[in-house]
Each structure stands twice: as structure tokens, then as C-alpha cells.
Amino acid sequence: MITENKQKRREAHLLLDNIRSVHNVGSIFRTAETLGISKIYCIGTTPTPHDRFGNKRSDFAKVALGAENTISWEHAEEGGSILNKLKKAGAKIVALEQSPRSLDYKQISLASSSKNKVVIILGNEVEGVSKPILELADVIAEIPLRGQKESLNVSVSAGIFLYRLLDTD
């Protein structure tokens, strides 16, 4: 059974910091659309639904399955000015990254936050969230790992974290 929650949710944005894989980004778009994300910012080398000539990318569409047509998105070379603008507009900035400042993602809650907007930052598959972007985060969350691998695929991490953070809001 599929249920639909028409309840008003907080305004949520994603900032994708130099993610390399078109498949990861397409998958993130699809997940984001199912959660009602307001906008996705594709920063730097992050692939967008259109190529450099403005043509729709079939490799992107194959993974996003139409989400690229229903969710607002924007490309920018750098994300600092976007984050500063959203922060000034009252957004809480949450990065998903392994860091000495990281909290277990299950400890992060927006329910008690007075801010009605949130920006979730996801980083590059190898390097993670860039240091200048990470420094702008109000909160850094981390998904604890129990195996030998040091990280999860960014699109898998996005799904786990976004559903935990936004579906309980």
C-alpha cells in the first residue's frame, strides 16, 4: 500500500558539492523528489539534467525517472554564496560528512528547530564535502559504519539520511 502525506513540511534544499557520478546525482534527484525537496543546487562538477549545450541528458533521465522535470534545480560554480544567502534567509545548514565535529545522524532533529528551512549538503564521492562548504554548516551529521568499508555510496547515504531527517519532521 502506498500512502501519501499531504501535511505541510518545512522547506528543504539540497546542495550537491562536486559529486562526480551522473548516476548518483540522478538517484539523489529521484529520492529528493519523493520527499518534496524544494530545490537542488548542483555545485561545481556536479552533473545536471542538461548537458553544457542545454540538451536533456538521457543518462541522467534514465536514473532520475522524470524527477529532473518536477524538482527545481540550479547549477553554480561554487556553493558558499548560496549557503550564505540561504543562511541569511533563516535556513539551518546540515552537512552529511565524516568529521571530528560529526554527530550520529540519529541525533539530528529538525523538530525542535525554530528555523523553517533546511539545506542538506552532500559531498564528492572521494573527497567528501569541501572544507570551505563544511565550515558553513551549522550541524555535521555522520552515518556510523559497522563494517570494514569507510563510507557508503553518496546516493545511498542521501536516501538513508534524508528519510531519517525529513520523514520524521
With cell 525517472, the residue in question is 65
| C-alpha–C-alpha distance, residues 146 and 134, integer Å | 24
Domains along the sequence of the chain with CATH: 11-166 (3.40.1280.10)
pLDDT of residue 1: 43
Cell matching residue 132: 570551505
pLDDT of residue 118: 95
* Phi-psi map region of 114: left, alpha, beta (phi>0 left; psi -120 to 50 alpha): alpha
pLDDT of residue 78: 96
Residues 6+ apart with CB under 8 A from 6: none
pLDDT of residue 128: 95
Residues 6+ apart with CB under 8 A from 162: 31, 32, 35, 37, 120
| C-alpha–C-alpha distance, residues 16 and 44, integer Å | 9
| C-alpha–C-alpha distance, residues 102 and 104, integer Å | 7
pLDDT of residue 53: 94
| C-alpha–C-alpha distance, residues 75 and 35, integer Å | 21
This prediction's pTM: 0.91
Spell out the per-residue pLDDT of the chain, length 169, in tens: 444 544 456 799 999 999 999 999 999 999 999 999 999 999 999 999 999 899 999 999 999 999 999 999 999 999 999 999 999 999 999 999 999 999 999 999 887 666 689 999 999 999 999 999 999 999 999 999 999 998 899 999 999 999 999 876 5
pLDDT of residue 111: 74
